[in-house]
Structure 1
Amino acid sequence: MQLQRDWLIRRPVIYRYLDKRFVDAFFETGALRLSSFAAFSKHKDEERQDSLEGHGSVVHRNSEGSGQTVFALTAQGHSAFVLCGAMNYQTDLAESFKTDSGFRINDSLGFGDAISKYIPGFQLGMEGPCLYLGKKLVVRDMGPVDLHAVKGAQTGEEVAVGKLFQTVAAAAGNDLMFLKSATYAHQNEYRLLWHSPHVVSDYIDIVCPEAIQFCTRFEDMLAERPDGDRGAA
């Protein structure tokens, strides 16, 4: 979007909770593991495990005339590598994740761009805060859709229904990649995604020393830490 007046967007800093050995490796060489929605479903601990990441329902609902509602179950983000963090720094989160350290991403745009150079076939990057809802549901109004034409098609009915499903699913935009159950709301999550041309496996290990400049160890933070507290998170 191009605006006629200046407009600045203030992005939050991101707190990435990790074990100290992984933090040390990152600040020494730039070694970093990026996960995926597929990996999220396999985590053993409750705080990280989410079998429905990227999945959800999209509803087209229009009230004109007699009204109409169309549901589509779909999934997004399974061709992307993902890095998650919190938008606040708190000891409770470190304890929940069972970590003893971490780092703060001070500039998510610079950080994400640096990492994009190491993603095979990188196509698109995106970032943003998660939205927590009781149900993973996206509701849209696409205006009146000629459902009777689809139902009454004499030929190519499966194709017509498939196109309707794709149209409704596409109406979700990128929302499903940032929707999470309200049970995880305490995590206050912000995530970055790097899209590739193919469905990705559980994770990718990269070495990106250029990303280090955009980060600060938890142990080196000043404003967030109580006076005199120089231990790990």
Structure 2
Amino acid sequence: MSEIPEQDRVKLRPPPHMVTLQFGSQWNVVTPAVYRYEDQRWIDEFFDTGKLRLSTFAKFATYEDEVRGDKNEGQGFCYGETSDNKSVVVMQSQGINAAVLCCSHRLCQDLQHGFQRNSAFQITNTVGFSLEISRQLAGFRNGIEGSCIYRSDATISRAIDFDFEKYKLPDGNLDMQMVADASTQLGGPELLLLKRKRYERQQEYRLLWEIDTIGADYVDVVAPLARQFCRKVEAEDWGG
């Protein structure tokens, strides 16, 4: 049997990760393998030791360039309207104490240059990876992952079931507890994943860990077991 030429060999890679749900019948969700753009020295350090630096929304606001910088991450107006045409508008901020790792569905040189990084690695199982990171974060509370939602503005509009009358005080004013309760109804994961449409070409996939408190605009974590869910991007992966 003749040897398969190098250029024709199929590179062995992990199969797609799949989450199985049970609700009467089985339903499978294939999670994406995503790319994290980073400088090669930090990628090598991660694969050697498991050390990884996570960013924050506060850090994103400090970048001056239009590719990485975004002063509005985790913030937006939430507009709720009741069936009797009453409305409430709440300005919300989420992710203040969140460590974030921004990845992308895309692997391309343009994004690499835009992010000002010289390499990338792939996370082949985002659920397993995120779980191992969470186990090494002091004060970890909860987490979320998902594809970013791109819109022309950061307004979240929803129909809500809300009784304004119960918040009326004897003097005719409204109890400010109404704002907190409205925020709960209008809340959810959207603000954590919402980005302006001008960033849409990045096709971002975001991993986010909420922790008790963050003392800086980054969080360094050492999670050696997270490496099993990653692989280095090879030169041929970039394509032409």
What TM-score do you get using the length of structure 2 for normalisation?
A: 0.85
SS in 1 for 2:63: coil
- d(CA) in 2 for partners of 1:79 and 1:217? 29
1:112 to 120, 127, 130: 130
Structure 2 equivalent of residue 102 of structure 1? 120
Stretches (4+) displaced over 4 A: 155-158
Give 5+ residue unaligned stretches, structure 1: none
State the Cα distance separating 1:168 from its structure 2 match.
2.0
The answer as to whether partners of 2:34 and 2:103 remain within 8 angstroms in 1 is: yes
The answer as to whether partners of 1:101 and 1:219 remain within 8 angstroms in 2 is: no
Letter in 2 for 1:87: H
Letter in 2 for 1:186: R
Structure 2 equivalent of residue 211 of structure 1? 226
State the Cα distance separating 1:149 from its structure 2 match.
4.9
Structure 2 equivalent of residue 13 of structure 1? 33
State the Cα distance separating 1:198 from its structure 2 match.
2.6
**How does 1:1-233 map onto structure 2 within 5 Å?**
3-62=23-82, 64-65=83-84, 67-143=85-161, 145-150=162-167, 152-154=168-170, 157=173, 160=175, 162-170=176-184, 171-199=186-214, 201-219=216-234, 224-226=237-239
Q: Deviations over 1:170-217 (max 9, x none)?
A: 222121000001111111001111111235530111221111111111
SS in 2 for 1:58: strand
Letter in 1 for 2:228: Q
SS in 1 for 2:25: coil
State the Cα distance separating 1:50 from its structure 2 match.
0.7
- d(CA) in 2 for partners of 1:30 and 1:110? 14
The answer as to whether partners of 2:109 and 2:238 remain within 8 angstroms in 1 is: no
State the Cα distance separating 1:146 from its structure 2 match.
3.4
Distance 1:168 1:200, change over 3 A: farther
Letter in 1 for 2:193: F
Q: CA RMSD in A?
A: 2.0
Structure with bigger strand share is 2
- d(CA) in 1 for partners of 2:72 and 2:55? 15
Percent identity over paired residues = 35
The answer as to whether partners of 1:59 and 1:168 remain within 8 angstroms in 2 is: no
State the Cα distance separating 1:147 from its structure 2 match.
2.9
Letter in 1 for 2:76: G
Number of equivalenced pairs: 219
SS in 1 for 2:157: strand
SS in 1 for 2:177: helix
The answer as to whether partners of 1:81 and 1:193 remain within 8 angstroms in 2 is: yes
Give 5+ residue unaligned stretches, structure 2: 1-20
Between 166-175 and 110-119, report the one with greater CA deviation.
166-175
SS in 2 for 1:48: coil
- d(CA) in 2 for partners of 1:72 and 1:2? 36
The answer as to whether partners of 2:81 and 2:158 remain within 8 angstroms in 1 is: yes
What TM-score do you get using the length of structure 1 for normalisation?
A: 0.87
Letter in 2 for 1:10: V
The answer as to whether partners of 1:133 and 1:181 remain within 8 angstroms in 2 is: yes
- d(CA) in 2 for partners of 1:102 and 1:108? 15
